[in-house]
Copies of this chain bind each other. A is one copy, B any other.
Amino acid sequence: MNSNLPKLSFASDYMEGAHPLILQRLLETNMLKTAGYGLDEFSHAARQKIRRACQTPDADIFFLTGGTQTNAIIIGALLKPYQGVIAAASGHISIHEAGAIEAGGHKVLALPHRNGKLSAEAIEAYIRSYWQDENREHMVMPGLVYISQPTEYGTLYSLEELEQISAVCRSSQIPLYLDGARLAYALACPENDATLPDLARLCTAFYIGGTKCGALFGEAAVIPKQNCIPHLFTIIKQQGALLAKGRIAGLQFDTLFSEGLYFRIGHNAIDAARRIRQALLERGYKLAFPSPTNQIFIEFEDSKLKTISSQIELSYWEKSDETHTIMRLATSWATSAEDVEALLSII
């Protein structure tokens, strides 16, 4: 199986199945009969645990199957037809979702970024300039701000930065939405100071990523204020995103939010990433971006890269100059100490 791939791979954080505890729960509960569409006990329990973790007892929570789907549905549900969504030009919705936001009728208003991050100032300036433009009624109104934690570049917003962005959104009466595809790897990061309750307090909606953080699939969309998006169940159905056996997603999040599994998963990835990063710096490698999470961006000499690539699978990021290339390494809940040592013995 998979004979094409080198044995050792740090190409991405979704190459294995699920955390073993999830499979164990699926096995144990397999023959129970439950209601469909997320109305089962496992989904109820998962929602309760997430509400507790977020300190939002009334939050609406829906389990969806992937990041693009979650982004398209929540962003589409929060925007009016004449509004667009502000995002970093490097954001996932800007580039790598095949135009899902536009397919839903909305423009992505792409702003310049710094290491994948938007600044509150840039957001505020864009919104102000829209409202000052005499032709604004012929333009797309900014109606939502989209950020990711961590970003596409593995960087983190500090709590202070999130507070500032949230303040801009509130004063502009524009919702804030946070894409947490790799949220476990932000939450487990020592550099991180924004907790789940912080996100729940500062965002109109966000999602807790499962697919890249230990689940077979699944993202938990959290809308802290109850009924802030009316009839979201039907919207999800209409968008083809309602799982008949919702329990399969519910059970996974029930497991991830039992006994701190989601946070432990994150620590494993972060610890592995830190060990790799440190060793690489000691060996004279250059980090392309200062990412503290589970993604490491390293510049390689092309000749050296060729040798390495035959032994380890990495992810291409971009050319930095004629003879150098930036590659991405990703760790995950499944990265073992042996994998890390094997990597470091080669690189």
A contact set with B: CB distance below 8 Å = 1-2, 5, 9, 12, 14-18, 20, 23, 26-27, 29-36, 40-41, 65-73, 76-77, 80-82, 84, 95-100, 102-108, 134-135, 137-141, 211-212, 216-217, 230-231, 233-235, 237-245, 247-248, 316, 334
Pick the residue among B98, B212, B235 that contacts A238 (CB under 8 A): B98
* 28 CB-based A-B contacts, threshold 8 Å: A2-B33, A2-B41, A12-B36, A15-B34, A15-B35, A16-B32, A16-B33, A17-B30, A17-B248, A23-B23, A31-B334, A66-B240, A68-B242, A71-B240, A81-B103, A81-B235, A82-B98, A82-B234, A82-B235, A84-B102, A99-B105, A100-B239, A102-B105, A103-B239, A105-B105, A211-B244, A216-B245, A217-B243
Interface of A (DSSP majority class):
loop
Q: In the complex, are the beta carbons of B18 and A33 less than 8 A apart?
A: no
Pick the residue among B29, B81, B233, B239 that contacts A17 (CB under 8 A): B29
Q: How far is the CB of A220 from chain B (nearest CB, A)?
A: 15
Q: In the complex, are the beta carbons of A103 and B17 less than 8 A apart?
A: no
CA distance A71 to B139 in the complex (A): 15
CA distance A107 to B18 in the complex (A): 35
CA distance A138 to B152 in the complex (A): 15
Q: How far is the CB of A174 from chain B (nearest CB, A)?
A: 14
CA distance A69 to B64 in the complex (A): 13
Q: In the complex, are the beta carbons of A96 and B240 less than 8 A apart?
A: no
Q: In the complex, are the beta carbons of A140 and B33 less than 8 A apart?
A: no
Pick the residue among B41, B138, B211, B248 that contacts A97 (CB under 8 A): B138
Chain B residue at minimal CB-CB distance from A108: B107
CA distance A36 to B134 in the complex (A): 13
CA distance A71 to B279 in the complex (A): 50
Chain B residue at minimal CB-CB distance from A82: B234
Pick the residue among B36, B212, B238 that contacts A244 (CB under 8 A): B212
Contacts of A81 in B (CB 8 A): 76-77, 103, 235, 238
Pick the residue among B33, B70, B106, B316 that contacts A9 (CB under 8 A): B33
Known: A17-B30, A140-B99, A334-B31. A240 touches B237 (CB 8 A): no
CA distance A318 to B72 in the complex (A): 34
Q: How far is the CB of A88 from chain B (nearest CB, A)?
A: 15
Known: A72-B240, A106-B102, A245-B14. A5 touches B23 (CB 8 A): no
Contacts of A73 in B (CB 8 A): 240
Q: In the complex, are the beta carbons of B32 and A1 less than 8 A apart?
A: yes
CA distance A343 to B69 in the complex (A): 40
Q: In the complex, are the beta carbons of A245 and B84 less than 8 A apart?
A: no
Chain B residue at minimal CB-CB distance from A334: B31
Pick the residue among B12, B80, B98, B239 that contacts A139 (CB under 8 A): B98
